[in-house]
Structure formats: C-alpha cells, structure tokens
Amino acid sequence: MNYAELDSFYRQIVGTVRAGGFPCAITSGMACVNYGVVETTNDCDILCGTDGARGLLTTLQEVRVDGEGASYRGTMSAPLDTRWLRGGWTAHFVWRSARAEAYLDVFGVPPRGTGDWASEVRDLYAGRHTVAEMKRTNRERDWPYATALGAQLLAAGDARGWLHIFDLDVLEAFADRIPRSDSLLALRPVLRLLGDARLKQALHVEREFWFELDRQRLSIYQRAVRPYASAVRKDPMATRIPLSAQHAVRVEWAEKLLPTNPIHDHGVDAMIADARGELLKLFEPSLLQWLPDVRENFQALEKRGHD
C-alpha cells in the first residue's frame, strides 16, 4: 500500500468511529504530514474518546487489508478497553498481508496533553497544539516537528505556539511579533530569557527535562506491564484469529495483572521529582529555575485515578 492508500484506510477507520458519535482523530506522524511538517510516514496513531473503545474495536474487527484482518501487535499492548485507555495505556494493532502491512496505535489520553483535544479536531486530524504536545518525547527526531507546529500556531496568531518552540533561532524570529502573556511566562519561564545570553543553555536544560519526563513515564508503564506481557506471551490464545478472541484473552489477563493507571499509582509529583533529580546530576541547580510547570500536562491521568 502506498501512502495515499494508507491514509484513506486510516481515515475510513476514524470516520466510522466518529459517525458512531465518539470523538476520534488521527494524530502524531500522519497529522504532521497533514500539517506539512513531515513528508510521509508508514504507521498511524489515533486518539479515541475513551468511551468509544468498544465501537473502535468493532470497527477494527471489520476492516481488512487485502482481505486480512487486524491482530494485536506485541505482548505489551494493552487491550482496547475504556479502563486502560483512561489510564494512559496504548493499544497496538497490525494488519499483515502478502502485499502490505498497516500499523495502528490507539491512545485514549494524549501523552502530555492539556485541555480538551476533541474540541480542536480539524477534519479528521488532532489540532496542532495537541500534536505538538505529543511530540515532546525522548526521541530526538520528534522535536523539529514540535517546533514547526509551534511556529505555525504563532503564525496563525495562537500564542500557545510559544509552548512548543525549542529552536533558538525560531524563538528569536518571533520575539517581537507575538506577545507573551504573564500566564504563558508562568507556564514556560524560559521565555523570559528571550534576548538573554542564558537562553541557549536554558533551552537545552528544558529539553532534557522533557526527555527525562518521557523516560520516567515510559519506565513506569514498562514496569507495570511486565507480569501482563509475560502472561500474554505464554498464552497460545493471545495470538488467535479473530481479533475478538485475542481481545478477550488480553482483557482477562489485564483484569488480573495490568494496573489501569500506573502514573496515578506512582504519583505525578513523584514522577516530576524523579525527572528533576536526574537533571540535578547533570546541571547546576540554578538552571532548574527556568523549567516549565508541567503538572497540567499529566493532570488528566492524575484526575482519573482508577475510574
């Protein structure tokens, strides 16, 4: 399948779920293609309203690639179930045929997401602000995309773009064009250093903070998933076709072994403190005064707890 065929395939899935009355949107790489900051990508990430998990699962059971149905991908994939989507887990799927493979990752809560992502959907795509928040990962390749999306937001008059730009030259290019409110400066203190020689180093420390936060986040999920992944790996029914059979097995093991919300269990404050502690091993304590307030970026998980 070429990119146009994949794009049409994933759009069909999202459109079907939305027709059923649930928020759903393409995000991450394919959204970046849509916004012109990436040329192409082979897989797809989608955001789905957590109450729409069952409807999405039904859709995935029905769609085919060259006649082949979907399967869960990997033993660490959480089941596509409201309980785990609410806790920040991701469900992973693949379609494999002789001609092509298609990959789909499903999020119920956008990592590092603030606000109501569903209210900012454009066509079938998550809004630039949501996509940029999701791109603050521990992968170096994602950061130019966050910056490019932030620049597009600022160019459109959306001051939230200031939160996503991590390139010194781009920040300075907008310095005199778009105002920065006190509330924005409180969220991202490094913006106070525009025109200051300390900005370059402060930006570096800020990026390292986001890198470490993502490493901490992933580590929490990886520790929580091990017993479940081991059980799924040993269960011969876990890879059985059809998808409905695989799903039933994963839910059964998840109910026994997979915490619904490990970030809540660990504690958001503890995770942030752990990340700051790692930075103190590398940088002078005075540099940490310019770090952003990130609690809002994890508030959705903290609020939901085990509901």
Which residues lie below 8 Å from residue 207, measured CB to CB, with a gap of 6+? 143, 166
Question: At CB < 8 A and 24+ separation, what contacts does 115-122 make?
Answer: 117/23, 117/25, 117/47, 118/23, 118/25, 118/47, 118/49, 121/23, 121/25
Per DSSP (E only), the strands in 179-248 are none
147-184 pLDDT per residue, tens? 999 999 999 999 999 999 999 999 999 998 889 999 99
199-217 pLDDT per residue, tens? 999 999 999 999 999 999 9
- Tokens read off for 188: 């991202």
Cis, bond preceding 242 (omega within 30 deg of 0): yes
127-140 pLDDT per residue, tens? 999 999 999 999 99
Can you tell me the distance from the alpha carbon of 34 to that of 306, in angstroms, rounded to the nearest whole number?
35
First to last CA, the chain: 40
> 199-234 and 268-280 helices cross at what angle (nearest 10)?
120
91-148 pLDDT per residue, tens? 999 999 888 889 999 999 999 999 999 999 999 999 999 999 999 999 999 999 999 9
Nearest to 165 by CA among 181, 184, 149, 180: 149
Region 3-107: CATH code: 3.30.460
277-292 pLDDT per residue, tens? 999 999 999 999 999 9
Question: At CB < 8 A and 24+ separation, what contacts does 199-205 make?
Answer: 199/168, 199/171, 200/168, 201/287, 202/287, 202/290, 203/166, 203/168, 203/171, 205/279, 205/283, 205/287, 205/288, 205/290, 205/291
Q: Which residues pair with 125 in a beta bridge?
A: 26, 122
pLDDT at 269 over 80: yes
Output the pLDDT for position 304: 65
CB-based burial label for 209 (10 Å; 0-12, 13-18, 19+) = buried
Nearest to 55 by CA among 94, 1, 112, 16: 16
293-303 pLDDT per residue, tens? 999 999 999 87
Q: pTM of the entire structure? A: 0.94
